[in-house]
A and B are shown apart, each in its own frame.
Chain A
Amino acid sequence: MRELSVDHLHGVKYLKKTDVDLIFDTALNFKEVINRPIKKVPTLRDITIANLFFENSTRTKISFELAQKRLGADVINFSSSSSSVNKGESLIDTVNNILAMKVDMIVLRHPNPGSSILLSKHTESCIINAGDGTHEHPTQALLDSFSLFEKFGSLKGKNILIVGDILHSRVALSNLYLLNLLGANIKISCPFSLVPKDIEKLNASVEPDIYKALRWCDAVNVLRVQRERMIKSYFPNNREYSMLFGLDVKKISSIKKDILILHPGPINRGVEITSDIVESNNSIILEQVENGVAIRMAIMYLLASKLNFSINE
């Protein structure tokens, strides 16, 4: 019997290769479950999960909630915009009030890096990081690599390119950790102003020529330009960015080979990727969405199995 080495999912950084293998194997089982005529299992019927979103989210929140409902869990949703946070309540007070209602697991999205780790030190619930500022977004990276794992069988030795706003992207950081763990070769391609310092420590090399980078890779993960996190201008304008780094038919057809195209969403069509590439046969963007539910079901199932069970007599 295998089990996760961690009690919370703060980030990919804290996972071992065996954890990822277990998550992928379990996600394969859940992918079969969500394609059955009746897509629900009762496994987490005695678990209550709170989705605490202190930052906007559409797809991640829906994906988590659907995964929780498919697992039979009870779900409560919280968003900071309609809560007492606006009245000055702290994160820990807010969460402890919610936990007093007997919540077993928390899915947390928060603008501050490290918030899920902080919270786990002040509560007894299991915490899943659904994005903490510019730090990590582990479930997104896991579903990205799971989508590639389904196509390639193994990522060992595969050439994976990440294009876009690497500097502000928690998806990029989680992906860099995970691709290293899985033995992939990694390159990034973006304006030099969006390259994080010490990127080479994550075994990623920078290729500013998008044509060269695309010719090198087996799959490309296209990331959104995160204007909302930019406190200054990192490139002149969207048009120039799109010409140099945006994926379009001209660039893709020039490489004369098939590569897989991923995008975690939300997509800014016409900026980092054009509509015809999003909808092309090489795009696995919608498969990522489906795999997101399976991966999140797997993670919550595996973490919930480590929660103590007791019936008060």
Chain B
Amino acid sequence: MPKKILLDSKKINLILSRLVYELIENHKDFQDTVLIGLQPRGIYLFNEILKVFKAHHPNIKIKSGILDFTFFRDDFRRSEKTLSANSTKINFTVENKRIVFIDDVLFTGRSIKAAMSAIDSYGRPKSIELLVLIDRRFKREIPIEANYYGTKIDTFKGDKVKVVWDDKPINNKVFIES
């Protein structure tokens, strides 16, 4: 299948810096804010965002966790294979907190819907925002949009958007397979 590079490591780094500044603009000292990385693929972007905070904004203390929403997905028993769960690491409640979900690609929106249901297990947040690296616009199956995005792209339904996070950051990239 032909591959087309959408983002290289240089562009990804620029986007990461911008996304962090946008978060700071809206959340200031992050007093009531919690960043939540979404399993499985959102964790990589989540870690990169945390790295940028640590390297360039060390005075901002970030509360964060990792959420798996497998048991809240709406396609249980509708896919051929068993849905395998991943670990969740949230050792606090989110009652009245401002949540920012972090995921790599926003596509149909169903994962985010499941994540919104799953986070309720930890309390009723004050608000939920969504940060993604790639927004596959016009492909939503439910009315969910990102508050922060790296880039928006137009794709066909059968296209596959792959985000590669390598041990060597220079090899990080996003490509599309048609």
Contacts and interface: CB of A to CB of B under 8 A. Distances in A.
Contact of A29 (B78, B87, B120, B123): B87
B77 interface: yes
A38 B120 contact: yes
Interface in A283-305: 301-302, 304-305
Q: How large is the interface on A (under 10, 10 to 19, 20 to 34, 35 or more residues)?
A: 20 to 34
Which of B82, B118, B121 has the most C-beta atoms of chain A within 10 angstroms of its own C-beta?
A: B82
Interface string A1-29: 11110000000000000000000011011
B168 interface: no
B99 to A, nearest CB: 15
Contact of B82 (A32, A39, A306): A306
Contacts of B70: 29
B8 to A, nearest CB: 31
A305 B82 contact: yes
A128 to B, nearest CB: 16
Contacts of A302: 82
Nearest to B120: A38
Contact of B117 (A3, A42, A301, A307): A42
A42 B72 contact: yes
Contact of A28 (B76, B78, B87): B87
B24 interface: no
> Interface of chain A, helix or strand or loop or mixed?
loop
A125 to B, nearest CB: 15
A1 B71 contact: no
B76 A32 contact: no
Interface in A257-313: 301-302, 304-309
A305 B83 CA distance: 8
Contacts of A92: none
A33 interface: yes
A153 interface: no
Contacts of A305: 76-77, 82-83
Contacts of B85: 25-26, 29
A309 B117 CA distance: 22
A41 interface: yes
Nearest to B74: A42
Interface string B71-101: 1100011100111111110000100000000
A143 B77 CA distance: 25
Nearest to A306: B82
Nearest to A303: B82
A43 interface: yes
Nearest to B80: A1
Interface in A19-72: 25-26, 28-29, 32-33, 36-43, 46, 71
Nearest to B123: A37
A42 B76 CA distance: 10
30 contacts: A1-B81, A1-B82, A1-B83, A2-B82, A25-B84, A26-B85, A28-B87, A29-B70, A29-B71, A29-B85, A29-B86, A29-B87, A29-B88, A32-B87, A33-B121, A36-B121, A37-B93, A37-B122, A38-B120, A38-B121, A38-B122, A40-B121, A42-B72, A43-B71, A43-B72, A43-B76, A71-B71, A305-B82, A308-B77, A309-B78
Given A36-B121, A43-B71, A305-B76, 5 more contacts: A29-B87, A29-B88, A33-B71, A37-B122, A43-B76
Interface of B: 68, 70-72, 76-78, 81-88, 93, 117-118, 120-123
